[in-house]
Structure formats: C-alpha cells, structure tokens
Amino acid sequence: MKQRTIKKPVEIVGIGLHKGVPVTMRLEPLGSDMGIVFHRSDEGLSIDLKPENVVNTKMATVLGKDDVVISTIEHLLSAVYAYGIDNLKIIVDNDEVPILDGSSSGYCMLIDEAGIKELDKSKKVMKIKKEVVVEADGKKVSLKPSSHIIYDFAIKFDHPVIGEQQFHFDYSLEEYKEQISRARTFGFLHEVQYLRSIGLAQGGSLENAIVLDDNKILNPEGLRYDDEFVRHKILDAIGDMSLLGYTIVGEYKAFAGSHKLNHLLTKKLLADPKNYEILDLELAKSEDKVFKLAFAKANS
C-alpha cells in the first residue's frame, strides 16, 4: 500500500469559529514523506503537524510557531486522517480553519472533490506496542495494542439531553462518513455567552454547532444522531491523534477525554520508543498481514 495525497488543489471559503471572519482555505497535493503542513498565506509561515507545535488545547487544538497560530484544526484533520492522506499542504489566510457546519462532513466532500492519489513510496503506520494512559480529574484517555483501528469513547453530562453516552467505532472510511463525519460540535448557551464576552466564538451559531440551554437543544432541526455528542468526541479524537503523523494501529479509549488529554497522550506515547513501532505496509511481516489486508479494504 502506498502513501496518499490529493489529486488536485481545492479551495473553500468559510467562517472562522472564534473571530467570525471569512477564511479562505486551500488544500494542495504534496509528495511522499512530506507529511501534513499548514501554511498561513497572510503571514508567509508554514507549521508542520507535530505534537511539539501544539500551543493551546483549551477550546480547540491550536498549532503555533513564532507567535503565529492556526486554530480549530481538529475537524479538518479528522477527515484527512480518515481518508488515509499522508501528505498535504493546508493553506489558510487567517488564524483559523473554517468551521463549516461544525462537523467534518464538509471536509469529506472537499476531499472527494479533490480525489485521492497514490504516491511512489510505501505507507507507514504507527503500531501501538504497549498501553499508554493519561488521567486527570476523573477523566481518562489511553492507547493500547490492537490489530484494528478502534476509537471507543464514553461521556457523562448532567444534562437531560446528553446524560451518559458511549460509542465504539471500528474504523473504515465508509463507516466514518456515515457514522462520525456528520456529528457536530456542541456547547452550552452560558458558555457561548461567556466566550463572546471575551471576544471568542464570534462565528458560532446554530448553523455550525449544537447549542443547549439548561434543559433542551436550541437547534430547531434537532439532532442528526441520538448520540451525536459522543460521536463528535470521536471525530475530535481522530483529528487530535493525527498529530502523531501516522495512522494508528491500536485502540484509543476515553472517558470524558479532551483536546488537552489527547495532546498529553501523544506526548507520552512518543516519549518512549518502546510504546510503538513504525510499520512499513509494503514490508509487513507475516503477523501483520491480516492488518494490512484489513486496512486496504477499509480505505478502498
């Protein structure tokens, strides 16, 4: 199996979640072994997608370099990761990625428009060898060995609409598009009001997020899935794990996980080379053949 990029450049204009201003985003193909690279065209600065370039995880995953940032990258990266894209240049003319409808389905459509191109070099993946766990304040995220790509997430909110939810996602591209990509980000009305008071969430609306008051959902169209909230948490986690630079062969599991814990998990995993193995799918050993075939089928 070969590395992937997109066939042709594509461009979209959308609103940034926090500043509420139009952002032009352009996706361009890159060659083998070049990775995912963000570029601020208004600043003339590129930032590689690496855990060490994460500068903030409070409201979103934010990359930064030399006081230049690119925010709210996780939804786009979730789609890029789901399509198995290894090499891509992402160009924006402001400090945010467009929020679109608060899910990753718009990015999936953009990638479908661009098409997928296989490159000359073989694809490499990160196989989890040892369990790695991060816990804080009753919240927990972990990665452990598995021959599949699995995301298992549980949440618990003291809210009548959300309550306790759990979702187990065994990766395939088609299942991602149907079960995960349409799940929107969500927030509570009092949080939105506070964020706006400090100059954030200026672009947030019922068009790009599920908003709840103390008792109900304010969006007139309701939910896309009964458990849309936990599905979006999986969408976020897939985007956050893309910071590792490889598709992960293993099981991600979380209870009340967050961007911050996901970032700490990537750092802890990379801190010890015994935690993982970089596997070349063209040179896969016999014990990895099952995964190789499953991965090829899931991405077909």
Query: CB neighbours (10 Å) of residue 198?
Result: 7
Say if CB 70 and CB 63 are below 8 A apart. yes
Q: From CA 42, how far away is CA 45, in angstroms rounded?
A: 8
Closest CA to 13 of 111, 116, 78, 106: 106
Q: Judge residue 222's burial from the number of C-beta atoms within 10 Å of its C-beta, 0-12 exposed, 13-18 middle, 19 or more buried.
A: exposed
Element holding 261 (H helix, E strand): helix 259-271
183 DSSP 8-state letter: P
Give how far Cα 127 sits from Cα of 26, 107, 149, 198, 268, Å.
31, 27, 10, 42, 15
Q: From CA 87, how far away is CA 97, in angstroms rounded?
A: 18
Q: Which of 75, 232, 259, 263 is catalytic?
A: 259
Q: From CA 142, how far away is CA 155, in angstroms rounded?
A: 15
Q: From CA 74, how far away is CA 287, in angstroms rounded?
A: 33
232 is known as an active-site residue:
no
Q: Judge residue 134's burial from the number of C-beta atoms within 10 Å of its C-beta, 0-12 exposed, 13-18 middle, 19 or more buried.
A: buried
Q: From CA 102, how far away is CA 15, in angstroms rounded?
A: 11
Q: What are phi and psi of 222, to 5 degrees?
A: 75, -155
Active-site annotation, residues = 259
